[in-house]
Chains A and B, each alone.
Chain A
Amino acid sequence: MKEIEFFVDLIFVNAKGWCLDLLGHFLPDWTVVLVSIIISAVVIMVLGPLVMMYLTLLERKVIGRIQNRYGPNRVGKWGLLQPIADGIKMFTKEDIVPAQADKIIHFLAPVIIVIPALMVFLVVPFGERMTAVNLNIGLLYFIAVSSITTIPIFMGSWASRNKYSLLGGMRTAAQMISYEVPMTLSVVPVIMMSQSLSTNTIVMTQAGDMDLHWFVFTPWGLVGFVIFFLCAVAECNRPPFDLPEAESELVAGFHTEYSGMKFALFYMAEYMNAFTLCGIATTLFLGGWQGPLFPSWLWFFGKTFLLICVMIWFRGTFPRFRVDQLMGFAWKFLLPLTLINIPVAALWFFVPEQLAWIYSVPILAVSLWGLVKLNRSFVPEKRIYPLAD
């Protein structure tokens, strides 16, 4: 029984191992290493776009259900071939470049945006021993690489020579840089607890107690998780933080002047970012691939898709923030809360567990309450309307 579980758990790792063993019989060692790298790279290059394609389908289906309709169901069974049809459509569309655009940068922006989105996949632990590169600074790498995304978006918006794009690009720059600060700080308690920047080690520290010793079940973990997740939503420009695109205001924001495959690349990067950010949130706070009964990769993908469904749910129900409210939320609410969260986590580390609960819950609750009070200079009024004759 245990053996079967172990086998299923490592099925992908073993499959790769067998391939390499087979090659090892008649190829020199250095080629085997090369092939190993290539296999990992190809898996990631395929996984990224595949995930993106079916995320679009998932999103359309879930939003359809939220809105009382079916969602795509014409192409293939349950619309399963819809992403492929969309892909063909995107490929065959005319590529329009505005006459006044800076052609080189206009071309480079969508190309560059996909690269960090794919690079981030390297450090995501998809399952037990299923991290492509086990970097000892994995988390730092993730934060650094994912923040590059701002630049191609700004390049695209600036090179388009379109005022809507320009406004969208300005909003992107402001928004993404603002939200990176609380996002990075919300990760600090996790690093303090696991004493490592390696994503693998972080997952390992959350083992024990039926594999349910996740950071999210502690007060500081819960606060950190919520902040990280909100920042993640803002980072990948999804509602209610979708100001850079803001369909109703800026037509399509930074990608107004993109069509065809270039537009598809922006779209792809956005969805891959959404996936990796949810994956990293899972890794940091929800125990990564840890979990009882099911194989590790199933746990990882299950948790990640659950978070993505929450993002889709946001999109189906929330209106958009205004730009000043968005900034205020990051700087006046999320940032102070993360700064309080770090000492609370430190307290947790040094104090025995039961005492720590007694300390940290009130501290966090009071600071949350205080921040809400301070931020609500404007409290949504309850209005009573007179009915005249």
Chain B
Amino acid sequence: MINTKSLEGSQMLEINFGPQHPSTHGVFRMNVFLEGEKICALKPVMGYLHRNHELIAENLPYAAVMAYTDRLDYFNSMANNFGYALAVEKLADIEAPERAAYLRVIMAELARIVNHLMLIGFLLNDLGAFFTPVLYAFREREKILDIFEEVSGSRMMCNYFRFGGVKRDVSAETLAAIKKIVAGFPAFLEEFEALLTENEILCMRCQNVGVLPADLAVNAGITGPVLRASGVNYDLRKVDAYGLYDRFDFKVPLGKKGDVYDRYYVRVLEMRESLKILEQALAKIPQGDILNKKALPFLKAPRNFKPAVGEAYGRIESPKGELGYYLVSDGTPQPWRYHVRAPSLINLTVLEDMCVGQKVADAIIILGSIDIVLGETDR
């Protein structure tokens, strides 16, 4: 909390950025105290989009929750599905067959590319560019969303994963289409970077702004690209090697200073690494089942799915950070306790540390570079 007593009689200006503001990426509020244009104190206020996600899930059969996880981080529902599927599979001890596991990796990496495209586009919008980077990013995102639509029937709320597999098989044509996107993507990235990476104004605005020191990032539990931009080598795909990630050859790009520019560029590099993973996965994907035999009966009758008493925590490296699902089963068809570790929420906790002492304009881009989605923050 901000100590308003100490501010009494000062010349400070209190402004609420949000909940209706073009650059808070949803209904998020920043209570900011300004001295001129300099930020003296900042308090993030969350909860405007709270919709009781966890309690709803505790009153539904396990399978029905999958569709709700789509709505957490609505830019990459594929990644959300992945985390939840992993948690339930741990709880019930089911494993996805090989082909399904490959499909999961492909979809998760495509989702990562979509997310990073959106982030960079909107970060530039926060910087004051007039929608040009966003629209270029949207052009590429559109191609990937078409793939999502083809495999799952929906562009954004995919609901594609199932316990022990995925919902539908993917045809050879779709795989060829994904291959084509992957092959064409580096050219787009070159174009995008030519516009942005060495742009003088972008460098001036982003370098040495919103520095997040590595020790603070670790202490605050920051994960994902924000942590890696501060130079900490922690990527769950390497640490946990969930799914099939230990079979692919890819690197983890690290930043040096932990400023906004590093957070931007680490994401560009991550997209390149995702492309590597996609290339390998598309080359290696085998034929076979897409759903574990053990899980098949529960697809038709979800209320028969009663995992044994116990608990499980499934986590993945979502594009925003560590996305974890904690489940406690009491042997009934519903989870007894369901908790989401939302990276958007936890990454927001260091917002004030990064913003104090900077200008108003910097606070906006720092918020943009953290990459939050309010659906996930507020749940």
Nearest-neighbor residue (CB-CB) of B249 within chain A: A389
Known: A163-B13, A163-B15. A315 touches B130 (CB 8 A): yes
CB-CB under 8 A for A385 and B266, given A68-B139, A240-B128, A248-B22: yes
Q: Please encode chain B, from 250 to 283, with 1 for each CB lying within 8 Å of some chain A CB and 0 for all others.
A: 0111111000011001100100010000000000
Q: Which 4 pairs from chain A and chain B are nearest by CB?
A: A320-B128, A380-B203, A387-B251, A319-B127
Q: Could you tell me which residues of chain B, from 196 to 213, have a CB within 8 Å of some CB in chain A?
A: 198-205, 207-208
Q: Could you say which residues of chain A place their CB within 8 Å of the CB of B208?
A: 378
Residues in A with CB closer than 8 Å to B131 are 67
What residue of chain A has the Cβ atom nearest to residue B251's Cβ?
A387
Contact status of A319 and B124, CB under 8 A, knowing A248-B23, A385-B269, A387-B269: yes
Between-chain CB contacts (< 8 Å), 6 pairs: A167-B15, A239-B130, A319-B202, A322-B361, A324-B37, A383-B262
Chain B contact patch, size range: 35 or more
CA distance A381 to B198 in the complex (A): 9
Q: Is A316 an interface residue (CB 8 A)?
A: yes
A260 to B64, CA, bound (A): 47
Point out the residues of chain A lying under 8 angstroms from B362, CB to CB.
Answer: 322
**What is the count of residue pairs linking A and B with beta-carbon distances less than 8 angstroms?**
122
Task: Establish whether residues B130 and A323, one from each chain, have CB atoms under 8 Å apart when the complex forms.
Answer: no
Interface residues of A in 275-332 (CB under 8 A from B): 315-325
Asked if residues A240 and B201 are in contact (CB atoms below 8 Å), the reply is yes
Within 8 A of A (CB), among B292-310: none
Is A187 among interface residues, defined by CB-CB distance under 8 A? no
A388 touches B254 (CB 8 A): yes
Considering only residues 335-379 of chain B, those with a C-beta below 8 Å from chain A are 359-362, 364
Chain A residues whose CB sits within 8 angstroms of the CB of B21 once the complex forms: 251
Question: Does B238 reach chain A (CB closer than 8 Å)?
Answer: yes
Closest to A322 in B: B361
Q: Say whether, besides A380-B198, A385-B265, A239 and B251 are in contact (CB < 8 Å).
A: no
Contact A249 B23 (CB under 8 A): yes
B359 adjacent to A324 (CB under 8 Å)? yes
Question: Which residue of chain B lies nearest to A245 when distances are taken between CB atoms in the complex?
Answer: B128
The reply to whether B254 and A322 form a contact with Cβ atoms under 8 Å apart is no
Q: How close is A9's CB to chain B, nearest CB, in angstroms?
A: 38
Judged by a CB distance under 8 angstroms, whether B135 is at the interface is yes
Q: Mark A350-389, 1 if CB is under 8 A from B, else 0.
A: 0000000000000000000000000000101101011111
- The range of chain A's interface size is 35 or more
Q: Tell me the smallest distance from the CB of A251 to a CB of chain B, in Å.
A: 6
Distance between A389 CB and nearest chain B CB, rounded to angstroms: 6
The answer to whether A320 and B201 touch across the interface, beta carbons within 8 angstroms, is yes
Q: Is A190 an interface residue (CB 8 A)?
A: no
A380 touches B15 (CB 8 A): no
CA distance A261 to B273 in the complex (A): 51
- Interface presence of B125 (CB below 8 A): yes
**B132 interface hit (Cβ, 8 Å):** yes
> Does B126 touch A at the CB level, under 8 Å?
yes
Complex contacts, A389 vs chain B, CB 8 Å? 238, 251-252
**Least distance between A382 CB and chain B CB atoms (Å):** 8
Do A316 and B128 have beta carbons less than 8 Å apart? no
Interface membership of B74, Cβ < 8 A = no
Name B217-242 residues within 8 Å CB distance of A: 233, 238
A163 (CB) vs chain B CBs: closest residue: B15
Distance between Cα atoms of A248 and B265 in the complex (Å): 21
Within 8 A of A (CB), among B114-163: 124-132, 135-136, 139
Q: Does B60 contact A (CB under 8 A)?
A: no
Chain B proximity of A148: nearest CB distance (Å)? 25
A66 close to B (CB within 8 Å): yes
B176 on interface, CB distance cutoff 8 Å: no
B251–A248 touching, CB < 8 Å = no
Report the nearest B residue to A247, measured CB to CB: B22
Given contacts A247-B22, A387-B251, contact A323 B37 (CB under 8 A): yes
On whether A239 and B139 interact (CB within 8 A), knowing A164-B15, A251-B22, A385-B269, the answer reads: no
Say yes or no: B238 contacts A249, CB within 8 Å. no
Cβ-neighbour of B207 out of A164, A247, A381 (below 8 A): A381
- For B268, the closest partner residue in chain A by CB is A385
Q: Which residues of A contact B132 (CB under 8 A)?
A: 63, 66-67, 316-317
CB distance from A68 to the nearest CB of B (A): 6
